[in-house]
Amino acid sequence: MPQNKPLAIIAGAGPGLGMALAYKLAEENYEVIALSRSQPKEKTENPNIHFKQIDLSNKASVENATRQFVDEYGPPKVIIHNTAQLVIKPFLETQAEEFSATWDAMVHSAVNIFQATLPHMLTAGEGTVIVTGATASLRGGKNFSTFSSAKFALRGLTQSLAREFQPQGIHIAHVILDGIINTNKSRKLHGLDQARMMKAEDIAQAYWHIIQQPKSAWSQELDLRPYQESF
């Protein structure tokens, strides 16, 4: 079992923030497992980043994959939950199946990955867990009933886990991204000036600061926004 590099697992390693986090942690000499429901369109040549296509809402699949990662690399030092599924619809036009799919992708995936990895962190007596939130974690916007309800749930879950596991040495934090991340998809969807969008690399740097925080000064929640964003 390799012991020279700490293990980081990113759940939701799609283009944009997920990959920026993978590159940042690989740059900091982590062995990075990048989990995604689909294969990346662009392959990385970085030998420290390993992709695995997986349905994170499937508990058995997550448990089996985690067992393999721990057997090969040891207990994870960092877990980042970054999954998302965006539905923008009037509430009365939203199907029950869309609520279920959104909660599977965002909430049940978090429960599965944390239940599979936290026991290993507890054995090691250390680790950092970060959950990606959004403006919708704090307020439910019009036509965002599915997304907001799931983001609210993730924030509550993170607070609960922080109070349960931080006294045992596990740092658990929630990051609210109050803005739009600058990706090809979001530029087409929102049509915003790029100066008003968030750079994925800059967000990844903020996550890295959380990972490095000493035990005497841990953040439980951090909010980030571009300088032109009103709040």
Residue by residue, DSSP assigns 184-223 as HHHHHHH---GGGSB-HHHHHHHHHHHHH--TTS--SEEE
Sequence length of the chain is 231
Residue-wise pLDDT for 40-58, tens only, equals 766 777 899 999 999 999 9
CATH number for the domain that contains residue 45: 3.40.50.720
Q: What is the Cα–Cα distance from 24 to 127, expressed in whole angstroms?
A: 17
Residue 124 falls inside a structural domain = yes
Q: What is the pLDDT of residue 191?
A: 73
Q: Is residue 1 part of a domain?
A: no
Asked, for residue 157, whether it belongs to a domain, the answer is yes
Residue 131 covered by a domain: yes
Q: Is 229 inside a domain boundary? A: no
Q: Please enumerate in sequence order all residues whose Cβ is within 8 A of that of 35, keeping only pairs 6 or more positions apart, or say none.
A: 9, 10, 11, 12, 13, 52, 54, 56, 65, 113
Q: What is the pTM of this model?
A: 0.94
Q: Does the residue 93 lie in any domain?
A: yes
| Structural domain total, the chain | 1
Structural domain boundaries, residue 198:
7-224
Q: pLDDT tens digits, residue range 187-210?
A: 776 777 777 889 999 999 999 999
pLDDT at 3 over 70: no
